[in-house]
Structure 1
Amino acid sequence: MARLPYLNPEDLAEEDRPLLKRMITLHRCLVNSPGAARAFGGLGQYIRYGAKLDPRLRELAILQVGWLARSPYEWSHHVKIGHDFGVTDADIEALIAETDGRPNSLEPLARLVLKGTREVYAGGMSEATFRELQAHLTNEQMVDLTVTASFYCAVVRTLASLAIDVEPEYQPYLDRFPFPA
């Protein structure tokens, strides 16, 4: 159960009500601080709709963070969103295998993006991995990948600290791709 109340549009000042155009539990909790919700949403929207990183690779990076953090909310939401941006069930199974160091079907660039994301999650991308990625990505894409991985590290920590609940409609994604026991 969330540690702060889930607010509804009628709980907010008129100018803040658009912050709840998506009535997901994360947004309903974040609007306890409309300014923070606005800033959080601004970067999230850039990552999803403005970043120059390939959308499938972006979603794989986000899923990598969700998997590493064992974040039910992030994982379930981005399994669904990932599907919308070209991530397949086979990609998700391969991401799990890649994280465990097992052979998988991901292409080399996807594996490298996941490696870089794991390093960001652990504290920062290594020089060697950064240089390897630079051979495939533009400077703009490198920044977008780094910001995406870093932002989603903050997202999973926000979700855990506020104890945000997974909405029932996202539970099937957790059932299909559960975390290890």
Structure 2
Amino acid sequence: MPNDTANTANAKIDPAVLARAAARDADVQGKPRRIEPLAEDAFTEEMQVINTDMKKAAGIPPNGYMPEFFAIMLRHPKLFRAHSDLAMVLMGAPLLPVRDRELAVLRIGWLAQAPYEWNAHVDMARRMTNITTEEIERTIIGSSAPGWSAHDAAVLRAVEEMIADAMITDATWAILTKTFDDAQMLEFPILVGQYLGVAFLQNSIRARLMPGHVGLSAR
């Protein structure tokens, strides 16, 4: 996956990076989905409870609406239950600060060129943290963009390192451990793996965007 860290002198995004994102949006959203969602009349009470719990963890009021991605996942109920259990730890009862989690997931979503994940977490970052529009733009450039604190840059750089080389370097680890304790350092790589896997799945099945979402152009 590309590391979009070019043209960082003035935190400007390379137009080629934005063109690639537009092409990915068209590729994922412009073709038919590969798996149909489970029909609403097949939803069990347990499935509805999972839906409500996941929304609560994401800061979304329960409204009975089953996102299409969830309804597709429900074709494999055991997998969705396991997936939601881990998601509830990472979103509903995280040890990592929510701001750090959302910065990491935004970087994952951009590097994976994942329209669904990116847009969903742009919304979550706005709803649940103090991450600004300008900072969302900077996550596109990555850890080398000017303006980050040492800690924020290390969070983004750790994501980049794990995606590029499957591990965090000593230098980045040393910065993170100034703020994170051992339990948080255990949670962080699992967070990255979880959301990278979700990006792979959503892109591969061509998951339709949530109502009102625009994909990788969201800010």
TM-score normalised by structure 2 residue count:
0.72
Q: Taking structure 1 as reference, are residues 76 and 56 closer, same or farther at Cα in structure 2, changes over 3 Å only? A: same
Name the structure 1 match of 2:186. 143
Shift of 1:14: 4.5
Distance apart, 1:4 and its partner CA: 1.1
1:19–1:27 Cα contact (<8 Å) kept: no
- Give CA deviations for 1:106-161 in whole Å, capped at 9, x if unaligned: 21101100000111222222233223311221111111211111111111111122
**Equivalent pair of 1:6/1:25 in contact (CA under 8 Å):** yes
Q: Contact (CA 8 Å) 1:97, 1:104: kept in 2 or not?
A: no
Q: Secondary structure at the match of 1:170?
A: coil
The range that moved more, 75-84 or 44-53, is: 44-53
In structure 2, list runs of 5 or more residues that go unmatched: 1-31, 53-64
Q: Whole-Å Cα distance in 1 between the matches of residues 96 and 51 of structure 2?
A: 27
- Structure 1 gaps of 5+ residues are none
Tell me what 2:37 maps to: 6
- Aligned pair in 2 of structure 1 residues 77, 176: CA closer, same or farther (>3 Å)? closer
Q: Is the counterpart of residue 76 in structure 1 residue 107 in structure 2?
A: no
Select 2:102's aligned residue among 59, 72, 75: 59
CA contact (8 A) 2:119 2:218 kept: no
For residue 210 of structure 2, the aligned residue among 164, 167, 177 is 167
Q: How many residue pairs are counted as aligned between the two chains?
A: 174
* Structure 1 residue 15: Cα displacement: 3.9
Q: How much does 1:5 deviate?
A: 1.1
- In the TM superposition, residue 13 of structure 1 has moved relative to its aligned partner by 4.1
1:24-83 CA distance string (max 9 Å, x none): 122111000111111111111111121111101110000010010110000000000111
Residue 95 in structure 1 maps to residue 95 in structure 2? no
- Within-5 A mapping of 1:147-158: 147-158=190-201
Greater mean alpha carbon deviation, residues 55-64 or residues 155-164: 155-164
* Runs of 4 or more above 6 Å deviation: none
Query: If each structure's helix is expressed as a fraction of its own residues, which one has the higher value?
Result: 1
